[in-house]
Structure 1
Amino acid sequence: MSANLIGFCPHGHLVCGPATLKTGWLALALINSFVRIPFLVLRQMVLPLPRMGVLETDVIPMRVWPNNIDFNLHLNNGSYLSVMDYGRLHLLARAGVLKPILKARWAPVVGAVWMTYRRSLPLFGRFELATRLVCWDERWFYMEQVFTGDAGLVAIGWVKGALLKGSVTVAPQQVMELVQPGIMSPPLPESIQIWNELTREKLDGVR
């Protein structure tokens, strides 16, 4: 592909050649989840990403673009969550989970997110997003996502998500059996158990 056109890097990201970058705004739009995620799905259908185990960690190199920043000129809080959406989909694609999800038309939903911020990511700063599946129970998948920049740890997020068929939750074990028959969830860490308890208390308090 010409260096002036749009293409895919080995990690499944859309990239632009030098001439396109000089034009500006098109390159900025590529970081948007409404473009990036559909293109990842299409790319996976045509040229699948390298396969990895469902319990391995998927690491993606990324960069902070102008449409991801706030008035402090660093990655804003909302953009962290959008980047994490992409990271989880990237993991599902590489682990072989995305294909059965699309085939069954299951809808992914997020039940809760817990974020801890340590450092900021400046405009045009490079960083890595590491995503791993920690465990699952009868309803939820639990994932950990870690942002790392040049200075070290930037942020850590815990996400619990589920798959729905209409209004019915698909059992995570059912999903995992399609990818790796016989696999069992690692034990639920005590920290995630406490998080679940705190979430239940919060929800009970507003009912």
Structure 2
Amino acid sequence: MHFTRMLLHLLRSRRRPAQDIWDDYSLPLRVLPTEIDIFMHVNNGMYFSIMDLGRIDLMVRSGVWNALRDKGWSGVVSAETISFRKSLKLGQRYSVETKIIGIDERAVYFEHRIVVDGEIYARAFVATRLLSENGTVSKDEAIEVFGPPPAGLELPEWIHDWRLHNSLPSSRRPASHSWA
């Protein structure tokens, strides 16, 4: 179901007004029956899937989606964290507010907010690596496609600490499992 919804929003975003990639984006949605759990609110794991739609909307409406596809690049989430305040209920209207908060040599960082009537219900930070056939796309290559970030846009220091302390070894190095 999520794949179908992603394709639907990919097409819908093409018909929405264009914006600059560095703008704030708002995607209005409604809680679907497929998104709730037995407690009749949105399942915690579903929030990240919903936020995928916000990133797709941003990429398509900014024109970056086509540029990435032309270059053969793709994006993959490398880290994410979320905090919850209130639950979304079946049928409730809300919006996914999305913006890029910065870029470093490893990732593009997004902030997502689930908002109901101007109030934040949940907030997440997502690090997304851009990949080419040669590996991770550099910051300079990404900025060539995205355009220069607005003056003064710098990642908060805690994001660097979070990435450092939350990351796993490279896929080229072993990552043995042991609870000891």
* TM-score > 0.5 by shorter chain: yes
For residues 160-197 of structure 1, the C-alpha deviation after alignment (integer angstroms, 9 at most, x for no partner) is 001112360112431331342xx147222122122123
Q: Show the counterpart of 1:99.
A: 66
Would the aligned equivalents of 2:54 and 2:98 in 1 still touch at CA under 8 Å?
Answer: yes
Q: What's the secondary structure of 2:45's corresponding residue? A: helix
Distance across 1 between alignment mates of 2:145 and 2:109 = 18
Compare CA radii of gyration and give the structure with the larger one.
1
Pick from 108, 123, 127: which aligns with 1:160?
127
Q: Show the counterpart of 1:33.
A: 2
Q: Show the counterpart of 2:172.
A: none
Q: Show the counterpart of 2:98.
A: 131
Q: Show the counterpart of 2:108.
A: 141
Q: Which amino acid aligns with 2:30?
A: R
Deviation, structure 1 residue 49: 3.1
Distance across 1 between alignment mates of 2:164 and 2:130 = 21
Deviation, structure 1 residue 33: 2.5
Deviation, structure 1 residue 36: 2.3
Gaps of 5+ in 1: 1-31
Pick from 64, 80, 89: which aligns with 2:56?
89
1:54 counterpart = 2:15: no
Pick from 120, 125, 143: which aligns with 2:87?
120
Structure having the larger proportion of residues in helix: 1
User: Greater relative contact order (Cα 8 A, min sep 6): structure 1 or 2?
Assistant: 2
Q: Which amino acid aligns with 1:34?
A: F
Would the aligned equivalents of 2:28 and 2:95 in 1 still touch at CA under 8 Å?
Answer: yes
Gaps of 5+ in 2: 170-174
Would the aligned equivalents of 1:106 and 1:163 in 2 still touch at CA under 8 Å?
Answer: yes
How many residue pairs align between the two structures? 169
Q: Which amino acid aligns with 1:38?
A: L
The structure-2 alpha-carbon separation of the partners of 1:119 and 1:167, relative to structure 1 and needing over 3 Å to count, comes to farther
The structure-2 alpha-carbon separation of the partners of 1:152 and 1:48, relative to structure 1 and needing over 3 Å to count, comes to closer
Deviation, structure 1 residue 198: 2.3
RMSD: 2.1
Would the aligned equivalents of 2:72 and 2:133 in 1 still touch at CA under 8 Å?
Answer: no
Would the aligned equivalents of 1:162 and 1:172 in 2 still touch at CA under 8 Å?
Answer: no
Would the aligned equivalents of 2:42 and 2:89 in 1 still touch at CA under 8 Å?
Answer: yes
Distance across 2 between alignment mates of 1:136 and 1:49 = 25
Q: What's the secondary structure of 2:21's corresponding residue? A: coil
The structure-2 alpha-carbon separation of the partners of 1:111 and 1:92, relative to structure 1 and needing over 3 Å to count, comes to same
Distance across 1 between alignment mates of 2:87 and 2:12 = 31
Deviation, structure 1 residue 151: 7.9
